[in-house]
């Protein structure tokens, strides 16, 4: 096999595997005569997906913007708190245990409380997305700061730099690859957060659509929603991965970007 | 009155229960405008001296004074080339070299509005070390020796009063190294800064320094102080003259005792 064909095959692999899985699924449904209400055939799901594309998109859009807003808030908050924790041992010892305790709470448990506070709608979804994706960002940024090579800091100290200068000239650039690496994880979590919130107590978004479809025993629509979620998740992950590569070329020593 | 003054300075590194006495009772002084060299076996505390003089490490006992004032924290605006190049991988070579300009007064205030002028200055320096074509490259795109030369430029750019060089020519080939001795000497003759050079190369020490200090193995003590009474400017030819060679031999003999 030539190098070019090897390379092409490598890129085609994810699609091939997906296609094979879908075909197996389709055949299994036919062979075992699975009732549509339990597990619809992929072709059926696809038909529904196309037929209800407009409705799906409308609900997806709700989920998307609540996720993105929650995610952006998490970046801003996570970056600030991460810098504070990484830069000051006092903030670290004061806040870190609390953060870990808070992170241990299953976020589903927060949704009913949020509904008491802010009512039903998009706001609980935004907040859930925020609180769930906040943690990995804080931890990563703080780790980036805490693992600065002492020599790098000494270079600035010997020039007479202030603490703030050391933070802006070494700390923040050094923490950036860690921040961007955490975004891939965080966006996925933010997405989980808003769908959970929609499912537990929402009146829009893809989670709500799936919940109401399943209440009508409309399995194909429920599954179509599931596929929509998967596609959105992969797309957002890809965007974050791309941003990461663009922004932190030096951390990869240029190797990954040709 | 001496510019840098060390009085019975000792330093012990502590890591939990483990302690390492790295430097014992170092006493010496450097006059303003003097260039000294420190030689000695590996691990004898040379880099430690550099960090003590610049205030990056507090002395465990004894006293370090720079221009009359007791050193209690990092002193401002020294030029320091560390043993590892420690360039920042997210900055281009040019931006790395300009770093002191963003931090040290009075350049700091003028830097943003006079960037072109400073870049020109950095470019001139890069040319003298043969790196003019690499200003826009990142440090990780440079070879080890090129990184060291950039490191040297960063230490020099703000024309510090006190220049501390920790094996700055270590990873260079013999030719480049000898060329840079010439560059270094010319710079010193022009600006007359106070210089401290740590090196393993005895010819380098004798070529560049007014005084060479020989240290014992760990814990480092100063076992020999040798004035270098060879007139300046010294050239490569000087290094083959009998007097020069004699001094190098004298230093070598003293150091080889340490390895015995
Ligand atoms: N951060 C540290 N923690 C503990 N011990 C250290 C530390 N830095 C240096 N030492 C110890 O102190 C001693 C002196 O170290 P130093 O780096 O000053 O040696 P050096 O003379 O510069 O050696 P070289 O010529 O190999 O660079 C060594 O034995 C080393 O193990
Ligand atoms: Mg050393």
Mind listing the pLDDT tens digit of every residue in chain B (260 residues)? 688 999 999 999 988 889 989 998 889 899 999 999 999 988 889 999 999 999 999 999 999 999 888 999 888 878 999 888 889 999 999 999 999 999 988 888 888 889 999 999 999 999 988 899 999 999 999 988 899 999 999 999 999 999 999 998 888 888 889 988 998 999 899 889 999 999 999 999 999 999 999 998 888 888 999 999 999 899 999 999 999 999 999 999 998 888 77
Domains for chain B: give ranges and CATH numbers: 1-78+160-260 (3.40.50.300), 85-159 (no CATH)
Please report, for residues A159, B82, B185, the alpha-carbon distance to residue B188 in angstroms, rounded to integers and kept in the order given.
20, 19, 5
The DSSP secondary-structure symbol of A151 reads H
Q: Where are the domains of chain A?
A: 1-34, 41-257
Query: What count of Cα atoms within 13 Å lies in the side-chain half-sphere of residue B161?
Result: 12
Pairing of strands B35-39, B211-215: parallel
Nearest in space to A200 (alpha carbons), one of A124, A97, A90: A124
Task: Give the integer Cα–Cα distance in Å for A118 and A127.
Answer: 10
Residue from B153, B242, B256, B260 nearest B206 by CA: B242
Among A219, A169, A211, which residue's Cα sits nearest to residue A63? A211
Burial class (CB in 10 A: 0-12, 13-18, 19+), B98: buried
The response to whether residue B60 sits with its C-beta less than 6 Å from ligand 1 reads: no
What's the token pair of residue B24? 């014992």
Whether the CB-CB separation of A174 and A145 falls below 8 Å is answered with yes
Length of chain A: 258
Contact (CB, 8 A) for B194 and B159: no
Q: Nearest Cβ partner of B76 from A160, A174, A253?
A: A160
Q: Give the HSE-up count for residue A10: Cα atoms under 13 Å, Cβ half-sphere.
A: 7
Please answer whether residues B197 and B37 qualify as being in contact, where contact means their C-beta atoms are separated by less than 8 angstroms. yes
Helices (H), chain B: 46-53, 93-103, 107-111, 115-128, 144-156, 174-191, 202-208, 242-259
Q: In what order do the strands lie in the sheet containing B61-66? A: B18-30, B4-15, B61-66, B69-70
**What is the pLDDT, as a whole number, of residue A237?**
92
Q: Put the strands of the sheet holding B35-39 in their side by side order.
A: B79-81, B162-166, B194-198, B35-39, B211-215, B222-227
From B116, B148, B115, select the one nearest B134 (Cα to Cα).
B148
CA pair distance B170, B49, nearest whole angstrom: 18
What ipTM was predicted for this assembly? 0.84
Residue B164 in contact with ligand 1 by CB distance below 6 A: no
Indicate the residue of B82, B90, B141 with minimum beta-carbon distance to A154: B82
Residue of chain B whose Cα is closest to the Cα of A253: B140
Give A164 to chain B, closest Cα distance, Å.
Answer: 11
Probe ligand 1: pick from B9, B39, B43, max atoms within 8 Å of CB?
B43
B7 beta partners? B63
Which residues are bridge partners to A141 per DSSP? Answer: none
Query: Could you give the count of Cα atoms lying within 13 Å of A28 in the half-sphere of its Cβ?
Result: 10
The answer to whether residues B3 and B197 touch, using CB atoms and an 8 Å cutoff, is: no
Residues of chain A with Cβ-Cβ distance to B88 below 8 Å are: 152, 170, 173
Backbone angles phi, psi at B44, to 5 degrees: -90, 0
Q: Could you give the C-alpha distances from B177 to A109, A180, B81, B139, in angstroms and in order?
A: 67, 41, 15, 20
**Do A186 and A71 touch, CB atoms closer than 8 A?**
yes
Structure tokens at B94: 């040019």
From first to last of its 258 residues, chain A has per-residue pLDDT tens of 678 888 888 889 999 999 999 999 999 999 999 998 899 999 999 999 999 999 999 999 999 999 999 999 999 999 999 999 988 889 889 988 898 898 888 888 888 888 889 888 889 999 999 999 999 999 999 988 888 888 888 989 989 888 899 999 999 999 998 999 899 999 999 999 999 999 887 788 999 999 999 999 999 999 999 999 999 999 999 999 888 888 877 777 755 444
DSSP one-letter code for B188: H
Which residues from chain B sit within 8 angstroms of residue A160, using beta carbons?
74-77, 103-104
Burial class (CB in 10 A: 0-12, 13-18, 19+), B67: middle
Tell me the chain B residues in contact with residue A251 when contact means C-beta distances shorter than 8 Å.
Answer: 89-90
Which among A159, A173, A176 has CB closest to B77? Answer: A159
Give the residue, by CA position, lying nearest to ligand 1 atom 12: B22
The reply to whether A176 touches chain B by the CB within 8 Å rule is yes
- What topology does CATH give the domain A41-257? MetI-like fold (1.10.3720)
Tell me the pTM. 0.81
Chain mean pLDDT for chain A: 89
């Amino acid at each position: 096999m030539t190098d070019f064909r090897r390379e092409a095959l490598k890129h085609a692999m994810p699609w091939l595997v997906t296609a094979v899985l879908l075909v197996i699924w389709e055949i299994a449904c036919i062979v075992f005569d699975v009732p549509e209400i339990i597990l619809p055939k992929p072709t059926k799901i696809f038909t529904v997906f196309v037929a209800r594309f407009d409705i799906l998109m409308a609900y997806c859009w709700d989920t998307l913007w609540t996720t993105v807003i929650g995610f952006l808030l998490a970046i801003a908050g996570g970056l600030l708190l991460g810098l504070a924790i990484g830069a000051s041992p006092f903030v670290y010892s004061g806040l870190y245990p609390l953060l870990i305790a808070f992170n241990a709470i299953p976020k589903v448990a927060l949704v009913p409380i949020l509904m008491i506070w802010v009512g039903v709608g998009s706001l609980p979804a935004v907040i859930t997305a925020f609180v769930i994706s906040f943690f990995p960002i804080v931890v990563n940024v703080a780790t980036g700061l805490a693992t600065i090579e002492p020599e790098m800091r000494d270079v600035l100290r010997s020039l007479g730099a202030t603490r703030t200068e050391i933070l802006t000239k070494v700390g923040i650039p050094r923490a950036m690859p860690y921040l961007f690496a955490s975004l891939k994880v965080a966006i996925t979590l933010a997405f989980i957060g808003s769908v959970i919130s929609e499912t537990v107590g929402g009146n829009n978004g893809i989670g709500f659509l799936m919940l109401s479809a399943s209440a009508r025993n409309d399995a194909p629509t429920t599954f179509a929603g599931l596929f929509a979620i998967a596609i959105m998740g992969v797309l957002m992950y890809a965007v974050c991965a791309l941003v990461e590569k663009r922004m932190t070329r030096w951390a990869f020593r240029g190797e990954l970007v040709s | 009155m001496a510019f840098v003054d060390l009085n019975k300075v000792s330093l012990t590194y502590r890591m939990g229960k483990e302690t390492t006495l790295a430097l014992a009772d170092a006493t010496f002084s450097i006059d303003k405008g003097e260039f000294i060299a420190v030689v000695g076996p590996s691990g004898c505390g040379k880099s430690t001296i550099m960090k003590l003089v610049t205030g990056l490490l507090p002395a465990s006992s004894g006293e370090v004074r720079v221009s009359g004032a007791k050193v209690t924290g990092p002193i401002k605006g020294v030029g320091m080339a560390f043993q590892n190049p420690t360039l920042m991988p997210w900055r281009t070579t040019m931006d790395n070299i300009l770093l002191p300009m963003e931090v040290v007064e009075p350049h700091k205030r003028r830097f943003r509005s006079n960037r072109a002028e400073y870049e020109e200055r950095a470019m001139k320096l890069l040319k003298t070390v043969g790196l003019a074509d690499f200003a826009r490259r990142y440090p990780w795109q440079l070879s080890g020796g090129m990184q060291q030369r950039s490191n040297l430029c960063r230490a020099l750019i703000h024309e510090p009063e006190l220049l501390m060089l920790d094996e700055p020519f270590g990873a260079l080939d013999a030719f480049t190294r000898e060329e840079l001795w010439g560059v270094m000497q010319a710079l010193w003759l022009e600006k007359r800064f106070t210089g401290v050079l740590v090196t393993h190369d005895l010819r380098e020490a004798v070529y560049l320094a007014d005084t060479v200090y020989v240290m014992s193995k760990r814990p480092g003590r100063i076992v020999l102080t040798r004035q270098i009474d060879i007139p300046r400017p010294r050239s490569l030819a000087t290094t083959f003259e009998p007097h020069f060679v004699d001094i190098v031999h004298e230093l070598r003999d003293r150091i080889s005792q340490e390895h015995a």
